[in-house]
Structure 1
Amino acid sequence: MTTWTDVINYVRTRYEVLEETDDWLRFRLDTGDGRTQQVSVHHVPDEAGRRWLEMSSPVGRADAVDQGRLLELAGSSLVGGAAVVDGVALLKHAVPLEDLSVREESEHPLTMLVANADAFEHALTRSDHF
């Protein structure tokens, strides 16, 4: 069984951790061509008490992006749905923590989510703020 501690250790050994709490990590990934992308992973329970990893990566300030276009872009993505949290437009994806292989079952969705968020940020804002 995979634990939140396993996830923390996995992230710490592979990425530049920017911020950390008991149930949340924010870190940065290199996306190539001199661009980077921030991502957050939250350890959250659902209504039944099962544990999930919620991954999110910002696209831009919500008031600065065409949210309709963001929804269109997110609709074509296999991983991640568009959301606005605290004024930031982002892509989010969740995977169950129970019986999760961190390396095999979270790394691929994470890198897909981050690549999409970075591409959407570039397309919608022409910047690399996040």
Structure 2
Amino acid sequence: MTTWNDVINHVRQRYEVLEDTDGWLRLRMDTGDGRTQQVALHHLPDLDWVEISSPVGKADAIDAHRLLELAGASEIGGAAVVDGVALLKHTVHLSVDEFERVLQLLVARADALEAELTEADDF
């Protein structure tokens, strides 16, 4: 059985951790072509799940309707706005293999959406 500590250790070995607080990790991943993408991981202990979220852009600076259309076309992630930032989010059961697969897909998709909707690499 995979634990939250297993996920934390997996992430620390592979990615640049920017912040590590109780139940939360924030990291930066290289997405190629000089681009990076920030990611937040939130442990949901009552369910043994991990919520993965990655910013797409400032909510008031992007076309929200277009974001919803693009996010809905993918098997990974749903769109949300938290503290004025548009995010792509997905929740996965605590399993390092499944976590890594979803993390890679979500980050690639969030970075592509950020590039398309903002033409920038702010996150």
Aligning the two structures, in what range does the TM-score lie when normalised by the shorter sequence? Answer: over 0.9
> TM-score scaled to structure 1, two decimals?
0.92
Deviant stretches of 4+, over 6 Å = none
Name the structure 1 match of 2:21: 21
Gaps in structure 1 of 5+ consecutive residues: none
Q: Deviation of residue 75 (structure 1)?
A: 0.8
Question: What SS does the aligned partner of 2:76 have?
Answer: coil
**Residue 89 in structure 1 maps to residue 86 in structure 2:** yes
User: Separation in 2 of the partners of 1:62 and 1:106?
Assistant: 27
**Cα deviation 1:91-112 (Å, max 9, x = unaligned):** 0000122xx2x0x211111111
**Cα deviation 1:54-76 (Å, max 9, x = unaligned):** 00000001111100000000011
Number of positions where the alignment pairs a residue of Structure 1 with one of Structure 2: 123
**Residue 57 in structure 1 maps to residue 54 in structure 2:** yes
Gaps in structure 2 of 5+ consecutive residues: none
Q: Deviation of residue 12 (structure 1)?
A: 0.4
User: Separation in 1 of the partners of 2:49 and 2:85?
Assistant: 22
Over aligned residues, Cα RMSD in angstroms? 0.8
**Residue 41 in structure 1 maps to residue 41 in structure 2:** yes
Which amino acid in 2 is paired with 1:60? G
Which amino acid in 1 is paired with 2:78? G
Q: Percent identity over the alignment?
A: 69
